[in-house]
Amino acid sequence: MERNIQKNGLVNLAVAVLIFLAGFGVTVFAGSLAGQAASIFLGLGVIVAGISWFQMRLEENEHSEKLELDELARSRGQSLFESKDGGSFPAQNARLQFEKYFVPGFAVLILLLEAGGAWLLWNWSGKNTAGLKEANATAALSLFAIFALLLFLIGRFSVTIARLENHRLLRPGASFLLAGAYVCALVALGIAGVEAKFPRADFWVARGLCVLLGLMAVENLLTLLLEIYRPRIKGKIARPLYESRVVGIFAQPESLFTTAAQTLDYQFGFKVSETWFFQAAQKNLAALLLIQFAALILSTTVVFVDVGEQAVLEHFGRPVATLNPGVHFKLPWPADKIYRFRTEQIQSFAVGYTPDPQSEAANTILWTVSHNKEENFLVANRATVTSQTASGDTNDTSKTQSVGLITVSIPVQFQITNVTDWAYKNSEPDTLLKDLATQEVIKYLAGIDLNDVLSQGRLQATKVLRDRIQAAANARSLGAKIIFVGLQDIHPPTAGDVAGTYEKVVGAQQTKLAKILDAKADAIRLTAVSGAQAFTITNVADARRIQLVSSKFAEAALFTNQIPAFEAAPSVYRQRLYLQSFADATKGARKYVLLVTNTQDVVIFDLEDKIRDDLLNLSITNSP
């Protein structure tokens, strides 16, 4: 009795649709990332089950058509129906058209869904921080376990039917159902992990299922590419393109060898699985695995500690030795374990800022331009104003405790000096060291004046901080040596243009200096000019003295010589001198001589000077 395979396919499809919808609902209900991945997987199962069921129907129609035609041929005579025209077999043509066009189309659709689903879910799971809803977790766990059981029972049944009766079209859907059972079980395990205080269990199951979807996409792509080059042998029934070997292996791991053999046979067109190598590998698989396992265990007895490293050797959890660079032997894992530490490497962290690669690429670092993600630290402020000219009211403000804010960038470098202390005293020694360094920076800044630390205090700050951080690390037995503490940047906050006003102070001081220097230059000029003027005044006076004395003595000498002439003819000499002097004195003067005396006429002289032409033409404008 031949089983009606189409009904099996329909049952598979119905179960796939039902579980897909239910699984999706539970996923939304519980907020499970793994549930989302499982929903994509179950959705793909619906598509595969649907295609295979539809293809089964086409094959069954074709089979019915063939039986009807055979019946007609027997009843009416064979010659009437020996047509080679394809149009006489519509069901067969429909199947062929479906396999030729629709099946590859669906395979491409499945590929896109697999690749897109893996990609989107991977990104989504990385960004999602909501996590599982703990209140609904238990119910979701139970439901996924029930889905897993249902899918396992039906999937196992269908797979067995497909294998026993060699129904190739039942196999893809059945494999998806069985694999879906394992996927649902994994989701349930992930949720159980979260409930057992492994909060990332759901996330990692989701990531694992993303990888599975990715593998399925790669396999689907390879199958589509290889399908182009596969040798077509007449009578050889093609494997459905939408059947995933990865799903088959995932659903039935024991069939790995069989699947591999079938794949090779199918791809090369001859029985690769019958070659001696393949047979030997299959026959001695257990021994090979045992040897592999032994080699793996033996490999754990040798340890190579690299240059710059030290390792702690633990024997059943107890640290028994510190291993230096070189080769070492130990008992196999898990009796002896080693934990490596890079003791030579100079490690570093930053206090007060988060390095920003984009800003660090800048060649110029300014107070007014933020060059990292900086934090503000509280710092004491001894006086609000340090001005010498500050008036009495400043004293009132200085009585209250004033604080300032400052931005510091302090890189700290350290080395691990004692691996035992580093590994066993604190759970997160590097975080603790950073916390200690930050605490010391805060204490230092809280106890120093803002202006001191910005100016002369910087020099000693690095040394003081290094000593304090080292002392704090020693007090906590961190096993670390502080190599360097740098005060690479310390300035008022960039925010609010505080740093900008500091620059303006410098500008004002420069302006002040410029004004003083200008005044000094003026003073120098004035002093020099006044000196020269004084020199001129005294020299002019001296010249006039000399001139006066000389001229008077000369006049005296002349007078002495004039006396005899005067005594000889006093009136003549006097008149001569007068006339000579008159002539000289009036040589350039205008002279009017009135020869008329005792007359009634009035003589009018116009003594006005003639005004020059250029002065007459002068235009006068009103000044603004």
Instruction: Write down the least CB distance from residue 444 to another protein, Å.
Output: 9
Nearer to another protein by Cβ, of 192 and 432: the residue is 432
Nearer to another protein by Cβ, of 226 and 577: the residue is 577
Helix (H, G, I), strand (E, B) or coil at 370: coil
- By CB atoms closer than 10 A (0-12, 13-18, 19+), residue 502 is middle
- Considering the rule CB under 8 A, would residue 288 count as an interface residue with another protein? no
Tokens describing residue 271: 């029985």
For the segment 48-67, give every residue that binds another protein (CB under 8 A): none
Q: How far apart, in Å, are the Cα atoms of 535 and each of 183, 192, 538, 539, 548?
A: 112, 109, 5, 6, 20
Tokens describing residue 482: 């502080």
Nearer to another protein by Cβ, of 232 and 587: the residue is 587
Instruction: Write down the least CB distance from residue 317 to another protein, Å.
Output: 4
- Considering the rule CB under 8 A, would residue 292 count as an interface residue with another protein? no
Instruction: Write down the least CB distance from residue 333 to another protein, Å.
Output: 11
Instruction: Write down the least CB distance from residue 353 to another protein, Å.
Output: 14
- Considering the rule CB under 8 A, would residue 588 count as an interface residue with another protein? yes
Cis amide linkage into residue 429, ω under 30° from 0 = no
- Considering the rule CB under 8 A, would residue 127 count as an interface residue with another protein? no
Interacting residue with another protein among 365, 442, 454, 483 (CB under 8 A): 442
- Considering the rule CB under 8 A, would residue 392 count as an interface residue with another protein? no
Confirm if 356 and 372 have CB atoms less than 8 A apart: yes
Instruction: Write down the least CB distance from residue 17 to another protein, Å.
Output: 39
Interacting residue with another protein among 401, 619, 622, 623 (CB under 8 A): 401
- Considering the rule CB under 8 A, would residue 592 count as an interface residue with another protein? yes
Work out whether the CA dihedral 121, 122, 123, 124 comes out positive or negative.
positive
Interacting residue with another protein among 317, 357, 392, 624 (CB under 8 A): 317
- Considering the rule CB under 8 A, would residue 379 count as an interface residue with another protein? yes
Range list of β-strands (E), 197-315: 302-305, 310-315
Angle between helices 201-229 and 170-195 (to 10 degrees): 160
Nearer to another protein by Cβ, of 87 and 564: the residue is 564
The closest alpha carbon to 173, from 261, 125, 242, belongs to 242
Neighbour tally for 110: CB within 10 Å: 21
Kindly compute the dihedral angle of the four CA atoms of residues 429, 434, 436, 442, in this order, to the nearest 10 degrees: -170
Tokens describing residue 399: 């009585």
- Considering the rule CB under 8 A, would residue 458 count as an interface residue with another protein? no
Burial pattern 527-542, b for ≥16 Cβ within 10 A else e, equals eeeeeeeeeeeeeeee
**Binders of another protein: how many residues, by CB under 8 A?**
132
- Considering the rule CB under 8 A, would residue 430 count as an interface residue with another protein? no
- Considering the rule CB under 8 A, would residue 180 count as an interface residue with another protein? no
Instruction: Write down the least CB distance from residue 404 to another protein, Å.
Output: 6
| 405 φψ region: left (φ > 0), alpha (ψ -120 to 50), beta (else) | beta
Confirm if 414 and 480 have CB atoms less than 8 A apart: yes
- Considering the rule CB under 8 A, would residue 514 count as an interface residue with another protein? yes
- Considering the rule CB under 8 A, would residue 409 count as an interface residue with another protein? no
Residue 412's φ and ψ, nearest 5 degrees, are -120, 130
The closest alpha carbon to 479, from 413, 412, 420, 439, belongs to 420
Contact stretch for another protein (CB under 8 A) within 129-137, 168-176, 355-363, 527-535 = 527-535
For the segment 536-575, give every residue that binds another protein (CB under 8 A): 536-538, 540-542, 544-549, 551-553, 555-556, 559-560, 562-563, 566, 574-575
- Considering the rule CB under 8 A, would residue 130 count as an interface residue with another protein? no
- Considering the rule CB under 8 A, would residue 465 count as an interface residue with another protein? no
H, E, C per residue of 464-522: HHHHHHHHHHHHCCCCEEEEEECCCEEECCCHHHHHHHHHHHHHHHHHHHHHHHHHHHH
Interacting residue with another protein among 101, 512, 569, 572 (CB under 8 A): 512
Interacting residue with another protein among 301, 476, 483, 486 (CB under 8 A): 476
Element spanning 405, H or E = strand 402-416
Confirm if 440 and 466 have CB atoms less than 8 A apart: no
Confirm if 368 and 500 have CB atoms less than 8 A apart: yes
- Considering the rule CB under 8 A, would residue 349 count as an interface residue with another protein? no
For the segment 194-213, give every residue that binds another protein (CB under 8 A): 197
- Considering the rule CB under 8 A, would residue 522 count as an interface residue with another protein? yes
- Considering the rule CB under 8 A, would residue 436 count as an interface residue with another protein? yes
Contact stretch for another protein (CB under 8 A) within 25-33, 225-233, 256-264, 528-536 = 528-536
For the segment 480-499, give every residue that binds another protein (CB under 8 A): 492-493, 495-498
Instruction: Write down the least CB distance from residue 261 to another protein, Å.
Output: 21
- Considering the rule CB under 8 A, would residue 579 count as an interface residue with another protein? yes
Confirm if 137 and 191 have CB atoms less than 8 A apart: yes
Nearer to another protein by Cβ, of 294 and 459: the residue is 294
For the segment 593-612, give every residue that binds another protein (CB under 8 A): 593-597, 599, 601, 603, 605, 607
